[in-house]
Structure 1
Amino acid sequence: MSTKIKDSWVKKIERLHPYQTLVYLGMLGSGLIFLFLSVAFLSSFYDSSPLEVYKLPKPFWLSTLVLVVSSFITHKLIKFYKQDHPKQLERLLWLIFFLGMTFTSLQLWGWEKLQEQGIEFSGIPSGSYLYVLTGIHAFHLMGLLIFALYLLWEVHQTVLDPIKDLVFTTNPYAKMKFRLFIIYWHYVDLIWLSLFLIFTLAF
Structure 2
Amino acid sequence: MEEKLSYIEGAEQPISMHPKKFALWLFIVTVVMIFASLTSAYIVRQAEGNWLEFDLPAIFWYTSGIIVLSSITLHFAYLSTKKDELSKVRAGMFITTFLGITFLIGQWYSWVALVDRDVYFVGNPAGSFLYVFTGLHAIHLISGVIFLIIVLISSFRYKVHSKNIDVMEMCVTYWHFLGGLWLYLFMFLLLNH
TM-score normalised over the length of structure 1: 0.84
Alignment gaps of 5+ in structure 1: 1-7, 159-163
Matched, 1:109 2:109: yes
Identify the residue that residue 55 of structure 2 maps to in structure 1.
Answer: 55
Identify the residue that residue 22 of structure 2 maps to in structure 1.
Answer: 21
List 4+ stretches of structure 1 deviating above 4 A: none
Please say if residues 68 and 189 of structure 1, whose CA atoms lie closer than 8 Å, have aligned partners that are also in contact. yes
Please say if residues 41 and 130 of structure 1, whose CA atoms lie closer than 8 Å, have aligned partners that are also in contact. no
Please say if residues 51 and 124 of structure 2, whose CA atoms lie closer than 8 Å, have aligned partners that are also in contact. no
Alignment partner of 1:180 out of 158, 166, 170? 170
What does 1:52-201 align with in structure 2 at a 5 Å threshold?
A: 53-158=53-158, 168-169=160-161, 171=163, 174-201=164-191
Question: Larger C-alpha radius of gyration, 1 or 2?
Answer: 2
Code of the aligned partner of 1:140: H
2:14 aligned counterpart, secondary structure? helix
Shift of 1:201: 1.7
Shift of 1:170: 5.0
Shift of 1:153: 1.1
Please say if residues 77 and 91 of structure 2, whose CA atoms lie closer than 8 Å, have aligned partners that are also in contact. no
Shift of 1:50: 3.3
Structure with the largest fraction of helix? 1
Identify the residue that residue 41 of structure 2 maps to in structure 1.
Answer: 40
State the distance in 2 between where 1:169 and 1:60 align: 35
Question: What's the RMSD between the two structures over aligned residues?
Answer: 1.8
Please say if residues 48 and 125 of structure 1, whose CA atoms lie closer than 8 Å, have aligned partners that are also in contact. no
Code of the aligned partner of 2:41: A
Identify the residue that residue 5 of structure 1 maps to in structure 2.
Answer: none
Question: 1:94-149, CA deviations, whole angstroms, 9 ceiling, x for partnerless residues?
Answer: 10000000100000100111111111101111211111111111111111111111
Alignment gaps of 5+ in structure 2: 1-11
TM-score normalised over the length of structure 2: 0.88
Shift of 1:169: 2.8
Please say if residues 137 and 182 of structure 2, whose CA atoms lie closer than 8 Å, have aligned partners that are also in contact. yes
Question: 1:53-84, CA deviations, whole angstroms, 9 ceiling, x for partnerless residues?
Answer: 31110111110110111112211222101211
Question: 1:25-46, CA deviations, whole angstroms, 9 ceiling, x for partnerless residues?
Answer: 0000000000000111122212
